[in-house]
Amino acid sequence: MINRYTSTNARISRQFAACVFAGALMTAPAFAQSSSTGGTGGSAAAGGTSATTLGTGGTSTDADGSRGSSLATGGAAAGGTKNSSRSKSHETGSGDLKGQSKAMSHDGGTFSKSQTKTTVGEDGVQSRTKTMSHEPGSKPVKSTTEVGR
C-alpha cells in the first residue's frame, strides 16, 4: 500500500510540474526574429566640382529579444579649390545608432554639396540624403532621397 501511495504522489507531482512548465511557456513573451537593412547615398556635381555621401545600416533581433546593429557612413569631395568632408557616428542612450556625413567642393561661385543622416534603431533603418549643386547664372539643382520614414 505504501508503494502504491508513493507512486501515485510521484505521478501527480510529475503531472503538476508538466502543467506548470507548459503554463510558463504559454505566458513567456514571444520575441519574433526580425532584421532590417537600408541606407541612402547621393552625389552632386557642377563645373568640375563633386561631392558624394552615403549612409547604411542594419539591425536584427533574435528569438531571445537581443538586438545587434551596425552603421556605416562616409563621404568625399573633389575638383574644387576648397574640398571638405567629415563623418561622425554615435550611440544614443536608448541604444540607437546615429551617423552623419557631409561633403562639399567649392570653386569660386560653383559648388557641390551632399549630406546624409542615418539612424538605426528598434524600428529599423532611417536614412536621408540631400544634395545640391550650383553654378553662377543658373538655378541650384537639389535632390532628396529617403528610406524608412
**Residue 7 CA from chain centroid, whole number:** 58
pLDDT of residue 5: 46
Shared domain check, 14 and 50: no
pLDDT of residue 29: 52
Shared domain check, 87 and 41: yes
Tally of domains within the chain? 2
Shared domain check, 126 and 106: yes
Number of C-beta neighbours around residue 107 at 10 A? 17
pLDDT of residue 32: 58
The tens place of each residue's pLDDT in the chain, 149 residues long, gives 444 444 444 544 445 444 434 444 444 455 558 899 999 999 999 999 999 999 999 999 998 888 999 999 999 999 999 999 999 999 999 999 999 999 999 999 999 999 999 999 988 999 999 999 999 999 999 999 999 97
Single out the residue of 86, 76, 123, 117 nearest to residue 99, CA to CA: 117
Residue 32 cell numbers, joined: 519574433
What's the domain range around 124? 34-147
Shared domain check, 87 and 21: no
Shared domain check, 121 and 88: yes
Contact 66, 87 (CB under 8 A): no
Alpha carbons within 13 angstroms on the beta-carbon side of residue 102 total 4
Shared domain check, 120 and 101: yes
Shared domain check, 111 and 80: yes
Shared domain check, 46 and 18: no
DSSP assignment of 36-91: EEEEEEEEEEETTEEEEEEEEEEEEE-TTS-EEEEEEEEEEEESSSEEEEEEEEEE
pLDDT of residue 65: 86
Number of C-beta neighbours around residue 125 at 10 A? 23
> H or E stretch including 126?
strand 124-134
Contact 92, 71 (CB under 8 A): no
Q: How far apart are CA 31 and CA 125, in angstroms?
A: 19
Shared domain check, 76 and 130: yes
Shared domain check, 48 and 23: no
